[in-house]
Amino acid sequence: MQYLYRIEVPQSQSQEKLFTELGLAEIHLHKETIVISKERGRQTIEEVLSTNAKEREERVYHLANERGILGSYEYSKLMADHTLLKEARYAWTEGYDDWKEVSYFPELQICLDVEKKTAHEIKTPDGFVIPPIPPLYSESNQSTTQAPREERSLYKKSSKKSLWQHYVYCLKNFVSFGGRASITEFWSFILFFVLGGLIISAESNVLTSYYDFAVNRWMGFDPFLGILSSSWGGFVYSIVFLLPLLSVTSRRLHDTGKSAWFLLFYLLPVAGYIVLFVFSLLPSDPHENAYGAIPTDEVEG
């Protein structure tokens, strides 16, 4: 069983950083310094290092970089060959919840100064589940150290919103005229808006035929007063979806750096629609603008 330790400080609060027994041996603290582990409670460093020396040398470290996992190695093997440590950026070992940069571990820093010898990769012990590879950060992007804490989470997963999710989002935010909407969000709404219109139109045509044949001719009058006729159906549909249409168009204009006042082009038959159609196809402003941050099409989970 491998343990992790926090160093107890005079203010009766423990440091947040966790050390392995190997790490404690390398930071050269006084042997009477108190450390705390979840399993063993309070101990001195001398007590910790006086036992399980062989087990400490057999602790396994899993190494990785942006390209993937490099391998799993016992500490004694890393002491003999530091080549892979030079290539590695991240490391993980039993007890930690996520990957850490190699520099986090004092015992691995020491390995980098050891004379190169032969390295032997070992098989990962049964039962270990290696966490996902850390998120990629290119040289031109933020480093893992600079990235916000939530972006550094190794268990954060994201996926693209579906067209339907974009459509539902627009309906839920039908009075939100601020902010920005990506081109995908806008055209997802338009797609289902048009499909809904076609369905209403087809349904209304069927009802109109029914009225003409079964109601007006058989009964001699229309008891529904034409409320479900094609003209009424289209009118009600347009009223219900007017605000969502205007709000998502407003956000799409914001996304291209334009004011929502361009919505007034809807009042111009044909020509105004063409202008707004062209605007809707423009790419997003690549930077944060006066209307908000760059919109994302991702769903976090």
Q: How sure is the predictor about 14, in pLDDT bands with cuts at 50, 70 and 90? A: very low
Among 41-45, 106-110, 135-139, which is the least confidently predicted range? Answer: 135-139
Q: Are 183 and 256 in contact (CB under 8 A)?
A: no
Question: Taking residues 255-282, what's their average pLDDT?
Answer: 90
Instruction: Using CB atoms within 10 Å of the CB of residue 200, give its burial: 0 to 12 exposed, 13 to 18 middle, 19+ buried.
Output: middle
How confident is the model over 134-146, as pLDDT tens digits? Answer: 554 334 444 443 4
Total-model pTM: 0.43
pLDDT at 189: 93
Which range has highest mean pLDDT (21-30, 83-92, 141-150, 270-279)?
A: 270-279
How confident is the model over 188-233, as pLDDT tens digits? Answer: 999 999 999 888 888 777 766 665 655 555 555 555 545 545 566 7
